[in-house]
Amino acid sequence: MFTEKFRQRCCPICNSAERKKLYRQSFAYFSNIGFLEGYDVVICGGCGFGYADLIPEQSEFDLYYQKLSKYEHRDADGSESPIDSRRFIDVADLIAHFTEKNTRILEIGCATGTLLGVLKRNGFRHVQGLDPSAYCAEAARRLFGVEVMVGTISTMTTAATFDFIILIGVLEHIADLDQALAKLYKLTSDGGSVYIEVPDAAGFSCCPDAPFQQFSTEHINYFSVHALSNLMRRHGFELQYREQKMKPQTGMQFMPTVGAVYRKSCYGGDDCFNYDAETEAGLTLYIQRSKLIDKGIHREIDPLVDGQEPIIVWGVGTHTFRLLKACRLGEANIMAFIDSNPMYATAEYQGIPVLQPCRLQDYPYRVLISSRVYQNEIVSQIRDRLKCENELILLY
């Protein structure tokens, strides 16, 4: 069971305690995986930032990413998918406009080092990474000859500074942004810059994803362009360049993103905020659209519960954690969960085991595919690789 008592967060950008709750996200508990029972999605009354409230301490998140990182790509020996690799080539081109080949570059949250590998190939000689997963550090060394320290920005102790620091898909995961940004300022050399990329919360409703999937177990800060700049200015970084793009993601999904380069200011931070009205409007629309899609999902799940036929649920993660709480899926006659992530192999939910894909052949039941972005990939895994003929239940 979840045992932690979670604290209220003040706004991670302006420190105001004033907040408005937009939505409560709840997750089912799986042993050996679960660490988050859910949270309130709130809007700050001071600056308009959107964030997850009532969450564990940063140290809990650090432990989770160290033990259960989803960014290791073990099934491909650490290699990123072609779509994600292509995205890194574009980012490397952008970074080349803002820094020289001989500068010291650090990527925080570098996963298996694909971007650093591209930068190295493009002639950047001093590239280094930081990632909580020891497997990722090993893979980056093996695949690209890139040195990666094991840790997070909050646990990192180096006294070194870097001329250009990259954080892609990192800030939306951090519970203690104050501590992380203070560390980032220290790590950046005088006159140095940072490249930050985060999902654009104001555009979530344009994203063809499963309902409420953006309120995941990992994403706990919801940035708009204004919110990101408010945060960076407060911590002493001046905007140099910014772009908003729909970026392709693995599994056919497009994600609205904000990418921006900031230069370290010699004057330090200031507390002037531009109130951000975009985030509340964007998240409110996203919640309305998610509720509509959810109605269709309930129509698929209800007969499974009423008929009590034995089923298999394929997919363990935010999508399934949420469905077990948000609809009647928890009352269905689930014989087993299946997931490809080998780190979930010892998990269970109320006595129902999580099994590896090869075990599907032991079960003749219908399979509910609990994912939107990986739905097609899972269908082809079941049919083409596992050669299983189980009837499939698709939610999308």
Residue 35 one-letter amino acid = F
Least Å distance, CB 56 to Zn ion, is 21
Stretch that binds Zn ion, among 41-49, 80-88, 145-153, 325-333 (CB under 5 A): 41-49
Among 6, 9, 13, 390, binds Zn ion (CB under 5 A): 13
Among 28, 33, 36, 47, binds Zn ion (CB under 5 A): 47
The residue to which tokens 């972005």 are assigned: 373
What part of residues 16-35 is at the interface with Zn ion (CB under 5 A)? Answer: 16
Q: Does 228 bind Zn ion (CB under 5 A)?
A: no
Which is nearer to Zn ion, 53 or 80 (by Cβ)? Answer: 53
Among 11, 139, 175, 260, binds Zn ion (CB under 5 A): 11
User: 9 exposed, middle or buried (CB, 10 Å; 0-12, 13-18, 19+)?
Assistant: buried
The packing angle between helices 278-307 and 225-234, to 10°, is 120
Among 9, 14, 170, 201, binds Zn ion (CB under 5 A): 14
Among 27, 30, 35, 49, binds Zn ion (CB under 5 A): 49
Cα separation, 57 vs 59, in Å, equals 5
3-state class (DSSP) for residue 106: strand
Among 34, 46, 151, 310, binds Zn ion (CB under 5 A): 46
Number of residues that bind Zn ion (CB under 5 A): 8
Least Å distance, CB 224 to Zn ion, is 12
| E runs forming strands in 200-339 | 221-222, 237-248, 254-264, 310-314, 333-338
Structure tokens at 215: 């309120």
3-state class (DSSP) for residue 19: strand
Structure tokens at 249: 């993601």
Cα separation, 42 vs 215, in Å, equals 11
Which is nearer to Zn ion, 149 or 281 (by Cβ)? Answer: 281
Stretch that binds Zn ion, among 44-52, 77-85, 104-112, 330-338 (CB under 5 A): 44-52
Question: Do 316 and 369 form a contact (C-beta atoms < 8 A)?
Answer: no
Stretch that binds Zn ion, among 10-18, 200-208, 210-218, 346-354 (CB under 5 A): 10-18
Q: Does 42 bind Zn ion (CB under 5 A)?
A: no
Q: Which residues of 95-118 are buried (b: 16+ CB within 10 A; e: fewer)?
A: beeebeeebbbbbbbbbbbbbbbb
Least Å distance, CB 177 to Zn ion, is 11
Among 33, 44, 92, 297, binds Zn ion (CB under 5 A): 44
Q: Does 222 bind Zn ion (CB under 5 A)?
A: no
Question: Do 196 and 174 form a contact (C-beta atoms < 8 A)?
Answer: no
Cα separation, 15 vs 45, in Å, equals 10
Least Å distance, CB 225 to Zn ion, is 15
Least Å distance, CB 344 to Zn ion, is 36
Q: Contact positions toward Zn ion, by CB under 5 A?
A: 11, 13-14, 16, 44, 46-47, 49
